Amino acid sequence: MKEVKIEATIFVYENLASLPADISFLMQKAIEARKRAYAPYSNFQVGAALLLDNDEIITGNNQENASYPSGLCAERTAIYYAGSQFPNAKVLKMAITAGSNNKITNKPIPPCGACRQAIAEYEIKQESLIEIYFMGATGKVARSNSLANLLPLVFDKSVL
């Protein structure tokens, strides 16, 4: 038996103002998208913005449904739209912000496991890393240099 250690490195920026200008712009797009979220059941709004290598910025937000499992997270709304509209473009960067009507969200809020799995598919398909920035509605912003870093032991096509 041997022990296998898995490490993840996250970089943390103090606030929106300390982000590089292009990322701050992308996060602003995610914030605008978050404000358009349709989240009447959870009252938890998420916005995502993707920068593609063709210079397009694609945004998405969570879309809920009276039949709860039929809703979709912001990250998947955005990345599936990008994949459907620009199948050959690579996703370079992704900015995510989450807010709530019920509490203050001032810590970085990472994408859920299902969204990590979905984003992983595109990172593997495009053979280049997706830089991911995530935050609450305010406060610190975390950066992961790849999706793989957020999802060790990914389930991917190599096992099929």
Q: Which two tokens stand for residue 107?
A: 């810590």
Among 24, 28, 42, 145, binds ligand THU (CB under 6 A): 42
According to CB under 6 A, which residues from 104 to 123 bind ligand THU? 111-112, 115
Q: How many residues in the shown chain lie near ligand THU by CB under 6 A?
A: 13
By C-beta, is 23 or 73 nearer to ligand THU?
73
CB 45 → ligand THU: shortest distance, Å?
7
Q: Is 129 in the site for ligand THU (CB under 6 A)?
A: no
List Cα–Cα distances, 137 to 103, 106, 110, 112, in angstroms: 10, 6, 12, 16
CB 147 within 8 A of CB 6: no
Provide the mask over 56-95, with x wherever binding to ligand THU is found by CB under 6 A and - wherever it is not: ------x-x------x-xxx--------------------
Task: Please identify which residue in the block is written with the tokens 């990008």.
Answer: 82
CB 47 within 8 A of CB 27: no
CB 50 → ligand THU: shortest distance, Å?
14
Please identify which of the residues 64, 75, 123, 131 carries the catalytic annotation: 75
Give 63's DSSP letter: B
Q: Is residue 7 exposed (0-12), middle (13-18) or buried (19+ Cβ within 10 Å)?
A: exposed
Binding residues vs ligand THU (CB under 6 A): 39, 42, 44, 46, 62, 64, 71, 73-75, 111-112, 115
